[in-house]
Amino acid sequence: MWKQFIEALTPDREFGPPAQWAEVTLAEEKLGIKFPDDLRNLLFETNGVHGQYRLGLIWPLERIVADNTSFRANEHSKDLHMPFDSLLFFADAGNGDQFAFPIQNGAINRLDVFAWNHEDDSRSWVASSLAKYLEWTHNGIIKL
């Protein structure tokens, strides 16, 4: 379903091999958060999606774990930014800004997608779902 959806949006995409259930579960355990079903299902079809210029439309699991772990553990950024443990980063805009699901009370209860601005540490709503994020990114509606 997700690969077909993305294929219909753009010919400029590259899919990764499907992630295995155990890999997704291990990533969730490492980050201490259950991923939204849409993200899990997308990863089961393709472990990451690169767009035009190899833009990380959806990161592979390894990057999701590495970047979220790095953001949360960086002592220097704690002096410069609001805490990152309220976000699950899963993609980037190619300019340093990141896309994330909000974490509230230890869970992802909303399917909204937010953008984190790396220059001013703002967090802005950009889409109501993963599908809208992909659609609006492709259509140029999301501008960062």
Token pair for 59: 């990161």
Tally of structural domains, the chain? 1
Whichever domain contains 56, its CATH number is 3.40.1580.10
Within a domain: 144: no
pLDDT band at 90 (very low <50, low <70, confident <90, very high): very high
Q: Edge-to-edge strands of the sheet including 98-102?
A: 87-92, 98-102, 113-116, 123-127
* Residue appearing with tokens 């992630």: 19
Q: What is the pLDDT of residues 19-44, one digit of tens each?
A: 999 999 999 999 999 999 999 999 99
Within a domain: 64: yes
Within a domain: 143: no
Range of the domain at 106: 2-138
Within a domain: 109: yes
Which residue would you say has higher pLDDT here, 80 or 98? 98
Within a domain: 119: yes
